[in-house]
Amino acid sequence: MSETIFDKIISREIPADIVYEDDISLAFKDINPQAPVHFLVIPKKRIATINDIAKEDREVVGHLSWVAAKVAGEMGIAQEGFRTVMNCNEFGGQSVYHIHLHVLGGKLLGWPPYTDKPKNLE
């Protein structure tokens, strides 16, 4: 699979507002926030979509949720609550083909999400 913009963020070729980093993952603020708090948690390992998660990647992918909750707690949104989303392929609204967990919070979020007019159907 080919390199994406997220590889350039991992390697610091392009800047991002990084909120957490360890050997396995990186978390940074979304450039186009959809909530008062919106950051992404990505694995450093390049995995294109949820469909490409291998059995040996399970620990890495689980780690992303642990990071999401840790950073959400540090940002003060964990108690009120937040949402994690991982989009997959075109119908899921995926635009960057390096898996990423969206973490959204800081306001009451609408549910179900598809009642909002999706940008890809405008």
Tell me if 115 contacts ligand DGP by CB under 6 A.
no
Paired residues of 38 in beta bridges: 104
Question: How far is the C-alpha of 79 from the C-alpha of 24, rounded, in Å?
Answer: 26
Instruction: Provide the edge-to-edge strand list for the sheet that holds 25-29.
Output: 18-21, 25-29, 37-43, 101-105, 82-85
Binding region for ligand DGP (CB under 6 A) out of 29-37, 45-53, 67-75, 112-120: 29-37
Binding region for ligand DGP (CB under 6 A) out of 46-54, 59-67, 75-83, 93-101: 93-101
Number of C-beta neighbours around residue 114 at 10 A: 9
Tell me if 82 contacts ligand DGP by CB under 6 A.
no
Binding residue for ligand DGP, selected from 27, 28, 43, 105, defined by CB under 6 A: 28
Q: How many residues does the chain have?
A: 122
Tell me if 16 contacts ligand DGP by CB under 6 A.
yes
Question: How far is the C-alpha of 79 from the C-alpha of 28, rounded, in Å?
Answer: 21
Binding residue for ligand DGP, selected from 30, 44, 65, 83, defined by CB under 6 A: 30
Looking at residue 93, its amino acid is G
Q: Could you confirm whether 100 is annotated as catalytic?
A: yes
- Which residues are the active-site residues? 100
Could you list the residues that contact ligand DGP (CB under 6 A)? 5, 16, 28-32, 40, 87, 93-96
